[in-house]
């Protein structure tokens, strides 16, 4: 549409109405980046203490709650989750942790290079703390494939 004013053509400018739609593309981009970041970092958060576990062909235990992990590394240091604890303080600390939850499960992860006596000392401290649900963690040998349900 054009109008002639003083011999010149002028175009009428139509005012554009504001867009009433939300642009979700930046939101989707940010969410995808966060998803990738969490997918990469999630396995790193559950790593815990580096322990060379012995092999076993026993079936995995089933449970719904998150167990406490007590680890003994190759140097003989004892950890509750990722926190180092001396053997003398292991029982009282576990007792304090499981005070509100007496049916708590404890997984003992002992490096295959440590002496059997060290694992038994840790098991004894756990028993003195009044914890009945104790399991030893091992890895399945590479030659045995996992069957469904294991």
Tens of pLDDT, residue by residue over 105-150, are 888 888 888 888 888 888 888 888 888 888 888 776 666 555 554 4
The answer to whether the pTM exceeds 0.85 is: no
Q: What is the pLDDT of residue 33?
A: 93
Do residues 128 and 91 touch, judged by C-beta distance below 8 A?
Answer: yes
Q: Going by C-beta distance under 8 Å and a sequence separation of 6 or more, which residues neighbour residue 122? A: 70, 72, 78, 87, 90, 108, 110
Q: Which domains does the chain have, with CATH numbers?
A: 68-136 (3.30.420.270)
């Amino acid at each position: 549409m054009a109008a002639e004013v003083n011999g010149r053509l002028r175009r009428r400018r139509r005012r554009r109405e504001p867009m009433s739609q939300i642009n979700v593309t930046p939101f989707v981009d940010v969410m995808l980046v966060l998803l990738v970041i969490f997918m990469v970092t999630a396995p790193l958060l559950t790593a815990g203490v580096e322990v060379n576990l012995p092999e076993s062909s026993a079936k995995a235990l089933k449970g719904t709650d998150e167990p406490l992990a007590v680890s003994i590394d190759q140097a003989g240091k004892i950890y509750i989750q990722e926190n180092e604890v001396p053997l003398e303080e292991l029982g009282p600390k576990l007792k304090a942790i499981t005070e509100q939850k007496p049916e708590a499960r404890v997984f003992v992860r002992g490096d295959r290079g440590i002496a059997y006596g060290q694992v038994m000392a840790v098991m004894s401290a756990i028993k003195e703390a009044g914890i009945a649900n104790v399991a030893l963690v091992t890895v399945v040998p590479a030659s045995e494939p996992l069957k469904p349900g294991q």
